[in-house]
Amino acid sequence: MRSSRRSVLFAITAAALLPSRPGGAGAQSVSAGARISDGVVKIGLILDMSGPYSDTTGGGSATAAKMAVEDFGRRVLGAPIEVLVADHENSTDRAAAIARDWFTHQKVDAIMDVTGSSEALIVQGIANSHDKIVSLSSAAAERLSNEACTPTSIHYVADTHSIAHTVGSALMERGDNTWFFITVDNGFGYDLERGIASVVEAKDGKVLGHARYPLDTQDFTSYLAQAQHSRAKVIGLVNGGEALEATIKQAAEREMIPGPQIFAAPVMRINQVHALGLAMTQGMMVSESFYWDMSEAARTWSMRFYDRTQMMPNGLQAGVYSSTLHYLKAVAQAGTDATGPVMQAMRDMPVNDFFAHDGHIRADGIMVHDLRLYQVKTPAESHAPWDYFKLIATIPGAEAVTPLADSKCPLIKQ
């Protein structure tokens, strides 16, 4: 897979797709009042297709969006649907250039994901200035739906606040009340560590220390040594992508996994567990909105995804499918692809699918839904490939997200 990664920019049109699945949602006639700009609905995804986050978003997220378009029927209000996918190569400048080109010249109506919080913040601002919708599944920084929120943005899967409250609350309830953090030195890392620490301390737990490392670090042994010597019950790995995988490998080499200290990797995905193996990840705690085996509907969709990718989907990829389908339903409901009416329809309609039950989009753009804490199974507990997670706790969405009274989003009327 890695050898085939490359920078891509391509469009998949409705005419190029296979015939729709039976029961697809998109077989609509064009109403007299329907208004589709340029005669086509264009959605885009700006992803890491070739770098450290490509396994957890990348081609899998692109596949999920295309599946949503197919399942909808490939047309909305009689107009074809196009999907554009671009590799930002983990460059904020490139992400910004792609977004400007798409909105100005390609006439893209909505961006359905941007990998990386730094890239997402820039694209979100550009989308707002062009009065275009952006929905974020893989970017987690809380500020996206807090002080940087916009009227045209949606934080769909989870933010650092909800992730922190899921992991922190559930582990504190188990008595895991002392923590040490190994944290990437960027905005995402600060937000997530601060969020978990606030939960721990509010519940009378203690943070025994933290070690922050530069983004390009490859050797984590000194940070792991500090965590081990702290004797904290929980070692929080506040990082992601290839850095997270390297941290886990080096912890296993130090025989810290399995060991007396619990490793919590809030943003670790099932793809990474699969790549590293259960012997190296067993016992780790992860926060996810979605697990492929959590319901019959989730299993059915995930097996279709697996048939295309040979990988089970993670929550970010399932979120892209759900958000894309929700957007297309909103276009149909609004009778137009104009941003204002579509955003209103997205807020008015509940999200009920295999990803979320009774989800709803608040005024600050947060899609409120349940989050879950899972523990990675031991090799003996796993009975089949991809049978990797066991449910520890479910945190209701209303408890996981930032209370509106505490929001810094300027769209919230206090």
Q: Does one domain contain both 147 and 167?
A: no
Q: Does one domain contain both 144 and 168?
A: no
Q: What is the pLDDT of residue 20?
A: 39
Q: Which two tokens stand for residue 243?
A: 């850095």
Q: Which two tokens stand for residue 217?
A: 């670090």
Query: Does the structure show a pLDDT above 80 at 351?
Result: yes
Distance between CA 1 and CA 375 in Å, rounded?
27
Domain that residue 167 falls in = 161-288+371-402
pLDDT, tens digit (0-9, with 9 covering 90-100), for 299-342: 999 999 999 999 999 999 999 999 999 999 999 999 999 999 99
pLDDT, tens digit (0-9, with 9 covering 90-100), for 240-273: 888 999 999 999 999 999 999 999 999 999 999 9
Q: Does one domain contain both 337 and 350?
A: yes
Question: 344 vs 22, 103, 240, 386, CA distance in Å?
Answer: 29, 20, 34, 38
Query: Considering only CA atoms, which of 285, 262, 256, 294 is closest in space to residue 386?
Result: 294
> Residues 14, 80: contact at Cβ < 8 Å?
yes
> Residues 286, 374: contact at Cβ < 8 Å?
yes
* Structure-model confidence comparison of residues 9 and 62, the more confident one: 62
Residue 37 falls inside a structural domain: yes
How many distinct helices (H) and strands (E) make up the chain? 13, 16
Q: What is the pLDDT of residue 345?
A: 98
Residue 396 falls inside a structural domain: yes
Mean pLDDT for 87-113 is: 97
pLDDT confidence of 186, banded at 50, 70, 90?
confident
Residue 414 falls inside a structural domain: no
Q: What is the pLDDT of residue 188?
A: 84
Mean pLDDT score of the chain, rounded to an integer? 91
Q: Does one domain contain both 252 and 329?
A: no
User: Which of 16-25, 272-281, 321-330, 399-408 is the least confident region?
Assistant: 16-25
pLDDT, tens digit (0-9, with 9 covering 90-100), for 23-66: 344 445 445 456 898 999 999 999 999 988 888 999 999 999 99
Q: Does one domain contain both 214 and 249?
A: yes
- Could you give the 3-state DSSP secondary structure of residue 413? coil
Query: Does the structure show a pLDDT above 60 at 212?
Result: yes
Q: What is the pLDDT of residue 33?
A: 52
Query: Does the structure show a pLDDT above 70 at 239?
Result: yes
Q: What is the pLDDT of residue 187?
A: 81
Distance between CA 118 and CA 139 in Å, rounded?
8
Residue 411 falls inside a structural domain: no
Q: What is the pLDDT of residue 28?
A: 53
Residue 407 falls inside a structural domain: no
Q: Name the phi and psi angles at 225, rounded to 5.
A: -65, -45
Q: Does one domain contain both 306 and 379?
A: no
- Could you give the 3-state DSSP secondary structure of residue 35? strand
Q: What is the pLDDT of residue 338?
A: 97
pLDDT above 90 covers what percent of the chain?
86
Q: Does one domain contain both 247 and 327?
A: no
Q: Count the domains in the chain.
A: 2
Q: Does one domain contain both 280 and 299?
A: no
Mean pLDDT for 158-162 is: 94
Q: Does one domain contain both 175 and 276?
A: yes
Q: Does one domain contain both 378 and 348?
A: no
Mean pLDDT for 360-388 is: 97
Which CATH number do you get for residue 189?
3.40.50.2300
Q: Which two tokens stand for residue 334?
A: 């609004």
Q: What is the pLDDT of residue 16?
A: 34
Q: Does one domain contain both 191 and 172?
A: yes
Query: Does the structure show a pLDDT above 50 at 216?
Result: yes
* Structure-model confidence comparison of residues 8 and 381, the more confident one: 381
pLDDT above 70 covers what percent of the chain?
92
Q: Does one domain contain both 231 and 378?
A: yes
